[in-house]
């Protein structure tokens, strides 16, 4: 099973802890430790699952962040165990992440996905006690290189591919990213920013990052930073490396290199199978997806040599629309690509061309989102999972596509005021988080626990420079920017530093909303 590891600077201890987290209760004598009936049942159930499915399910869920890693230290002479509810919740999270039917129980389809070749970097981070992001509040910057020209070299080679073939392949992998960003990559014989080494077994990065012969872990990369190892890529020299894209021929070097370079640039995994950052090396098409391009450009901007095509003559002569005031409770993209403006109990639909969708009668929220709220206080759409979150009257609804998810709606506490709008934002580690905005404060919402996270509220003006208080709507648009709306003004916020662009605010409507006024 082919796997990779993305080992950010803080990830070394974490992955090492996970890799060594094996249970050996049977080796402890009764004089050393007394095992309760509950603990014994947990151990037996865990063994039964392992016998049935051929692998330790709990260890798998721990490793990829769906279950808390149980510490090996024993406090008060008691074994710490997961409950059945813990496992059920973890499996449900896993199923939701990979687009499977969310039942909370193991089945053949779920286990098949679990056994697929994949990367060893965790999918979930928030509930991991070793995770460096567990107690993050809010960060205005991504982990990225602070310069546009980066150097690279290979210092340890593999015998499976000729030096010339290796050099050409790696150059092509780097060009894949430079073709869509403002980055340039130069080969050097000096100390590089990104050093690529073919290594064997435990090669000095710790037991958790050791290679384990061919067919499983094929490589890992370190994210941007100021450490000596920052940006470095290690590949398992024992793999059957090949330049052929057919997986039957071996491990395709180009696909792995593009993926690992993405990590070295600060990108994390994607749940989109079309992405080169998908956790498994199962793709034969190695072109960057639109998501890959957008995420890379959020970090480093577009390629300045690639010019936008000229607008048609008709659009060049179109008179700019007059400013107008749009009353809204919030605005958000939908899973169908349409934009939805929420106002009271009704929706206004805007198609993918920016045209108003005209209907013979008003469209209610519940016409589109069955069993939804009568109105919304705030709403936000998570593109990666096709999930829509709606907040109204201290209750939350969550939809995947247009289907209400199991367990929703549910009541919540913790917001001292009614939220005015909501939007998903990526934090320093590229993790997408949901933020709710009030008059002059904002909160982070845990999409795992459905509660307000500790450490909030924070002052909006302190983190979103140039944004006026009391925004009425917000969304992350297809261009990667965050748009806030207030009366007859629109504010365009840069995704890198969360500051309003110098040319904003502008009169409503934005350029991608043509005939709303």
| 416-471 pLDDT tens trace | 889 999 999 865 456 678 999 999 999 989 888 899 888 888 888 888 888 888 89
Element (DSSP H or E) covering residue 442: strand 441-446
Distance CA 213, CA 237 (A): 9
Number of helical (H) and strand (E) elements in the chain, helices listed first: 11, 26
Q: Collapsing DSSP states into helix, strand and coil, what is residue 246? A: coil
Q: Which domains does the chain have, with CATH numbers?
A: 9-114 (no CATH), 149-300 (3.40.390.10), 323-507 (2.110.10.10)
Q: Is 305 flagged in the annotation as binding? A: no
Q: Compute the half-sphere exposure of residue 129: CA atoms within 13 Å on the CB side of its CA.
A: 9
The response to whether 377 counts as a known ligand-binding position is yes
Enumerate residues 6+ apart whose C-beta is below 8 A from 288.
Answer: 176, 177, 180, 258, 276, 296
Show the beta-strand stretches assigned E in 222-283: 233-236, 241-242, 251-252
- Average pLDDT over every residue of 117-141: 45
The pLDDT value given to residue 265: 94
246 labeled binding residue: no
E strands present in 297-428: 330-333, 339-343, 346-350, 363-364, 378-382, 387-392, 395-400, 403-404, 410-411, 421-426
Reply yes or no on whether the pLDDT at 101 is more than 80.
yes
Q: What confidence score (pLDDT) does residue 165 get? A: 92
**260 carries an active-site annotation:** yes
- 73 pLDDT higher than 70: no
Q: CA 66, 69, 72: angle at the middle one, nearest 5? A: 165
Give the separation between CA 276 and CA 287, rounded to whole angstroms.
7
Instruction: At 511, list the tokens.
Output: 């350029």
pLDDT tens track for 286-295:
899 988 898 8
Residues forming a β-bridge with 434: 424, 445
- Tell whether 263 is in a known binding site: yes
Higher pLDDT, 426 or 507: 507
The per-residue pLDDT for 16 is: 33
Task: Let me know: does 513 contact 354? Beta carbons within 8 Å.
Answer: yes
Indicate which residue of 62, 96, 199, 260 is catalytic: 260
Q: Kindly tell me if the per-residue pLDDT of 323 is higher than 60.
A: no
pLDDT at 299 over 70: yes
Average pLDDT of 384-413?
Answer: 92
205 annotated to a ligand binding site:
yes
* 212 known ligand binder: yes
**Is 234 marked as binding a ligand?**
yes
* pLDDT at site 370: 93
pLDDT at 301: 87
pLDDT recorded at residue 22: 39
239 is in an annotated binding site: yes
Highest mean pLDDT range out of 95-104, 424-433, 480-489?
480-489
Q: What is the rounded CA–CA span in Å between residue 106 and residue 23? A: 21
pLDDT tens-digit map of 187-211: 999 999 999 999 988 888 776 677 7
State the chain's mean pLDDT as an integer: 79
pTM over 0.95: no
Q: Is 269 known as a binding-site position?
A: yes
- Residue 329 counted as an annotated binding residue: yes
CA distances from 502 to 98, 287, 467, 477, 506 (A): 39, 34, 11, 18, 10
- Residue-wise pLDDT for 240-286, tens only, equals 898 987 777 788 899 999 999 999 999 887 878 888 988 777 677 88
HSE-CB at 442 with a 13 A cutoff on CA atoms is 26
pLDDT at 59: 81
CB-based contacts of 322, cutoff 8 Å, min separation 6: 507, 517
């Amino acid at each position: 099973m082919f796997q990779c590891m993305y080992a950010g600077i803080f990830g070394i201890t974490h992955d090492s802890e996970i890799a060594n987290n094996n249970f050996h209760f049977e080796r402890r004598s009764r004089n050393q430790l007394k095992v309760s009936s509950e603990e014994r049942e947990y151990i037996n159930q865990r063994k039964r699952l392992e016998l049935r499915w051929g692998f330790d399910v709990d260890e798998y869920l721990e490793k990829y962040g769906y279950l808390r890693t149980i510490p090996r230290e024993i406090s008060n002479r008691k074994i710490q165990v997961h409950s059945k509810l813990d496992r059920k919740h973890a499996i449900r999270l896993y199923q939701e992440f990979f687009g499977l039917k969310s039942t909370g129980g193991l089945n053949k389809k779920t286990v098949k996905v679990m056994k697929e070749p994949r990367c060893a970097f965790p999918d979930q981070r928030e509930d991991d006690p070793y995770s460096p992001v567990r107690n993050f509040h809010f960060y205005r910057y991504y982990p990225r290189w602070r310069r546009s020209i980066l150097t690279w070299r290979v210092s340890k080679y593999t015998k499976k591919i000729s030096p010339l073939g290796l050099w050409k392949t790696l150059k092509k992998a780097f060009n894949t990213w430079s073709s869509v960003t403002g980055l340039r990559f130069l080969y050097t014989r000096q100390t590089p920013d990104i050093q690529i080494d073919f290594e064997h077994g435990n090669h000095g990065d710790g037991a958790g990052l050791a290679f384990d012969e061919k067919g499983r872990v094929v490589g890992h990369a370190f994210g941007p930073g100021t450490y000596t190892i920052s940006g470095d890529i290690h590949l398992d020299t024992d793999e059957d490396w090949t330049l052929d894209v057919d997986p039957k021929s071996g491990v395709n070097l180009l696909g792995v290199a593009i993926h690992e370079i993405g990590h070295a640039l600060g990108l994390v995994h994607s749940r989109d199978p079309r992405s080169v950052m998908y956790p498994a090396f199962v793709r034969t098409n190695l072109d960057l997806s639109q998501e890959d391009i957008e995420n890379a450009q959020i970090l480093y901007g577009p390629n300045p040599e690639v010019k936008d095509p000229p607008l048609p003559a008709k659009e060049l002569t179109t008179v700019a629309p007059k400013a107008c005031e749009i009353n809204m409770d919030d605005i958000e993209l939908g899973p169908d690509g349409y934009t939805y403006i929420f106002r009271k109990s009704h929706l206004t639909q805007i198609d993918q061309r920016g045209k108003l969708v005209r209907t013979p009668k008003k469209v209610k929220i519940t016409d589109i989102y069955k069993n939804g709220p009568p109105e919304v206080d705030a709403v936000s759409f998570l593109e990666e999972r096709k999930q829509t979150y709606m907040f109204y009257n201290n209750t939350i609804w969550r939809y995947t596509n247009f289907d209400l998810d199991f367990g929703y709606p549910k009541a919540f506490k913790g917001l001292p005021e009614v939220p005015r709008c909501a939007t998903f934002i990526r934090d320093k580690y590229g993790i997408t988080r949901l933020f709710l905005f009030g008059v002059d404060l904002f909160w982070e919402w845990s999409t795992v626990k459905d509660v307000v996270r500790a450490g909030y509220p924070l002052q909006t003006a302190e983190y979103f420079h140039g944004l006026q208080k009391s925004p009425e709507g917000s969304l992350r648009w297809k261009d990667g920017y965050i748009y806030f709306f207030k009366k007859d003004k629109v504010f365009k916020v840069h995704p890198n530093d969360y500051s309003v662009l110098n040319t904003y605010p502008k009169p409503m409507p934005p350029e991608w909303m043509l005939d709303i006024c």
